[in-house]
Structure 1
């Protein structure tokens, strides 16, 4: 049984209550089709179990397979620095076929962010250390692909279906 090696902190992107009995951590890649499917499943888990689950998203860009995954993660972090992480997160998964720099600039504009400032930050790779920290914690936790989930610090090796995740959340909240 693999355990999460990087504890959840206030620096993580957390959706839901930090007081929830279950913390669901996902290591994902914005260009990964499996992560996009998991995104919809996680949204539904959060909708069905709003008081039971705190969701944490961590970057695990597989750049050898997904060449735009790291720049997409940088766009998410640039949006996060401006209070818009979850909006950009949702946009990236909804538009996986639009992750080239020009398309990301259009997304930044649609979110109402300053395209030039975000572009300079991304061009200077201001958020790359954060992405690499997430990636490193994933490697230490035994993550080899995306999506990979941990429930209350224990790797969830069952399917990533809605039924499986709901069941795992319910089991974890009962212990």
Structure 2
């Protein structure tokens, strides 16, 4: 197998403080998801990972067993995805990335500008700052870096998931993903 082919199963840009992550980066299991807020399958993976996190928290009684990293992966076939990603990044400045992340995935069918402003208002974000950030495109570089890091690891479409740096390629269901995470934690 050539070098490029082997890269498609490995995460080439490792998780760091730069990323948007929940819990601790040195957890036994680190999930890196490439997704976008308009892609319905990314939404399904989001809900699946949330359920698995809750299950691990309950069963293992250890909140820091699984770290989840979210990286944007924007594709032209999703016209609202770029703006939604910019809004999530604008919410990150005051420390509300994950709250906005949850709202965007919960309301995937409503990502037009008016709804995005409503979500910002719901989180108590400074609406004027919020409107200024996405329109000035201050977050586009970060989003492009996320997408490029996915490209380097062979991601062609969202969603894509890496467990401890190895591409997950099995079915997107609770049992198989949970088994892969359990195996990675040992």
Aligned counterpart, 2:61:
none
Task: Please give the root-mean-square deviation of Cα atoms over the aligned residues, in Å.
Answer: 1.0
Query: SS of the residue aligned with 2:138?
Result: coil
Q: CA deviation at 1:90?
A: 0.4
Aligned counterpart, 2:135:
123
User: 1: CA distance between counterparts of 2:26 and 2:132?
Assistant: 36
User: 2: CA distance between counterparts of 1:19 and 1:72?
Assistant: 29
Q: Alignment partner for residue 72 of structure 2, among 50, 53, 59?
A: 59
The answer to whether the 8 A contact 2:16-2:25 is kept is no
Q: Alignment partner for residue 145 of structure 2, among 133, 146, 151?
A: 133
Aligned length: 173
Any unmatched runs of 5+ in structure 1? none
1:41 matched to 2:45? The reply is: no
> Could you state the TM-score of these two structures normalised by the residue count of structure 2?
0.90
> Could you state the TM-score of these two structures normalised by the residue count of structure 1?
0.96
Q: Alignment partner for residue 13 of structure 1, among 11, 16, 20?
A: 20
User: 1: CA distance between counterparts of 2:98 and 2:123?
Assistant: 11
Q: CA deviation at 1:102?
A: 1.4
Q: Is 65-74 or 14-23 further displaced after alignment?
A: 14-23
What are the within-5 Å matches in structure 2 for residues 103-114 of structure 1? 103-114=115-126
The structure with the largest alpha-carbon Rg is 2
Q: CA deviation at 1:70?
A: 0.4
